[in-house]
Amino acid sequence: MINLPPIKFALPVCTLAVPVSVDMTPVGYSLLGAALLALIMAVIAWFRSSSAGACALLWAAVLSVSGWVWGSIDPVAGASGDLVGPLTIWIVSVGMILTLFIAAEGFIEYQRAWRELRRTPHKIGDHSMEWAGLDDSCTSLGLLLLIAVFAQLSMVLKCHWASERLVALILGVSSIVTGISLLRLVTRRWRIGLADIGLGLLSVGVATLLLTVLPFEPIALEERIPARFNTIIIGLTVMMWVWIWLYGVWHQQLDDGAAWTTAGHMRSRLPRIIVALAVISLVAAGMMSGWPRLKLIGGHDASFLRIGFGVIGHLFLILTLIVLARRWKHAPLGVLAGVASLSLCAFLVIRLSVFSEIKT
């Protein structure tokens, strides 16, 4: 009888050898089982439709990576800091899978279009680039990535294999690359969901990259977190101005008010993206303002430098919202500017009360 190694064995899923440990949780076994079923469905569907098979193969790859990353983690017994490393690996892995599948789909369609052009050039206009389920799958996975990035930013970014600055760099680059990939797919087939999530990932990626300029350890956590919120506010507000500029530039992509290019269609989505970024910035501003009053925080945020930058971040956001409300005559933006002003007042009142507590 042959004795198999008791520590690990390999389960090939999607041409990947996914290590499965004997102490893997039921969640890991479930994800790997779902990946195996998706792989079987991909093989069966490939003979009927290559696009449907590719969609099932995409989910098989994502589920196999998810099982590999989360299979040995107990979310109940583990601490919140233990989730930082696996969540970062999952975000980068799924982003790479999406990018590779979008690139492969573009290459296949490019080759198919050239073959049809050489054989039947008079029918090149009838060439279809529809891939069943791929756009919806990319939209769903992109939304999951966007939520995961926000969840990651609310945690302590440091893990056992990387510093906070390196984790922020990895998250920022991965979000930007994935966002660009989704927008590249939008240029082939216009989808509102893909455009919104691609622009959102691109905006959050740039804001996350700005976190790499912050000072990290040995500064205390209760001092680093407000600075992180303020940097996110500034980064998202900068991206709001980028989209405002593109909104004006892409006006030339309209023909009597009707969009005739992908940029023209995306122009109609930019105001909604700007409002969404403003709302996210307000959430970060509220967290930064009330941070010293949270029961879990034992320290004080009483640095004149951080208070000054917090005021600058608030004012930058408020002025941006006021300019947009006046330029576009958009009342909700004016309401958001008022909410941002209240957040600034709360920020100053709480910081002044902190100073008074320290003196007494």
In tens, the pLDDT along 223-245 reads 777 888 889 999 999 999 999 99
Please report, for the chain, the start and end positions of each structural domain, with discontinuous segments joined by +. 1-72, 82-116+132-359
Contact 222, 297 (CB under 8 A): yes
State the CB neighbour count (10 A cutoff) for residue 168: 25
Other CB atoms within 10 A of residue 227 CB: 22
Q: How many residues in the chain?
A: 360
pLDDT value for 11: 34
Q: Is the pLDDT of residue 164 over 50?
A: yes
CA 72/CA 328 separation, integer angstroms: 51
Which residues does residue 13 pair with via DSSP β-bridges, in sequence order? 16
Structure tokens at 109: 């369609």
Q: Give the Cβ contact number of residue 243 at 10 Å.
A: 20
Residue 315's pLDDT is: 95
Q: Which residues, 6 or more positions from 241, have their beta carbon under 8 angstroms from its beta carbon?
A: 320
180-193 tens-digit pLDDT: 999 999 988 888 98
Residue 267 contacts residue 250 (beta carbons within 8 Å): yes
> What is the arithmetic mean of pLDDT over 22-41?
73
Range ranked top by mean pLDDT from 17-26, 66-75, 182-191: 182-191
- Residue 326 tokens, joined: 């006046």
Q: Dump strand ranges (E) for the chain.
A: 8-13, 16-21, 254-255, 258-259
Asked whether the predicted pLDDT for residue 1 surpasses 70, the reply is no
CA distance readout (Å), 338 to 147, 237, 327: 27, 16, 16
Q: What pLDDT, on a 0 to 100 scale, did the predictor assign at position 83?
A: 67
Cβ pair 133, 51 in contact under 8 A = yes
- pLDDT tops 60 at residue 330: yes
d(CA 158, CA 164): 4
Given a cut of 80, is residue 57 above it in pLDDT?
yes
- Residue 26, classified by CB atoms within 10 Å of its CB into exposed (0-12), middle (13-18) or buried (19+), is exposed
Kindly report the average pLDDT of the chain as a whole number: 79
